[in-house]
Structures are given as C-alpha cells and as structure tokens.
Amino acid sequence: MTQISHSSSSRTAVLHGPQISHARFSIGDVVKHRMFGFRGVVFDIDPVFANSEEWYNSIPEDMRPDREQPFYHLLAENGEGSYIAYVSQQNLMVDDSGEPVDHPAISGLFGTYDAGKYRLRPVYRH
C-alpha cells in the first residue's frame, strides 16, 4: 500500500511504496532486444512481470530483470524463424532499421506499417 506523508516544515510529499514505471513502448511499435538482437512488434503489455515463476527462474540470475517494470509480449523474429517473446522494458530499445517484422500473426492483428510502427486493426481497438 502506498503511503503519502507530508513534512510540515518543507511542505514536500514523500511517497513510500513501489514505484510504478511507465511503458516506453506501445502496441504496434517495432523494438529490438538489447542483448540478443532479435526484433519484434509489441502486441500486449503487462505493467509488471506476469509470467510463470518457472519462466522467471529459468533466466540466469545475473541477467534476471526486475519484476517491477513493464513486460512486453512480442511477435518476434530472428534469423531462424518467428516466435512469441516476453521481454522486460530494460532489455528493449527502438528498432531503427525501418524494416517490417516477418511474423505470420502480424497480418491478423495489424494493418499498415509505417515509420517503425504497425497500426492495430480497428476491430482490436478499444
């Protein structure tokens, strides 16, 4: 639970509790993994880690990301094929290649591609 306390002498509010970080990327953005170089299109965002403990513990401890950050579901591709990836915000960056992503599920969710972003089909917007 977040608590707010006010200091009477300085009139400064101090927040105690988990800090909420904001998503840097949005649905349709083309991103690239910082370490592994694969690319993908964001199709869903979790505000904090929301995968299984088994998945989280399978990441080597020295590379394990903080749970308290956005995690992104990606339609991903690499030199070997296409797949679904789940990646922490700290491990993603904007993909500036200007190239579309090659994944068979893209056409079902997204329409046009322009300037590093796919437009979500109207049926999926809310």
Residue 102: C-alpha distances to residues 52, 85, 117, 124 (Å): 27, 14, 13, 20
Bridge-partner residues for 4, per DSSP? 15
- Which of 1, 69, 81, 88 shows the shortest CA–CA distance to 38? 81
Residue 10 belongs to some domain of the structure: no
Report d(CA 47, CA 37) in Å as an integer. Answer: 23
What's the total number of domains in the chain? 1
Task: Assess contact for 45 and 31: CB atoms under 8 A.
Answer: no
pTM: 0.81
Report d(CA 116, CA 93) in Å as an integer. Answer: 12
- Looking up residue 59, the CATH number of its domain turns out to be 2.30.30.390
pLDDT tens digits along 16-67: 445 557 999 999 999 999 999 999 999 999 999 999 999 999 999 999 999 9
pLDDT tens digits along 72-85: 999 999 999 999 99
Residue 12 belongs to some domain of the structure: no
Identify the domain containing residue 119 by its residue range. 19-124
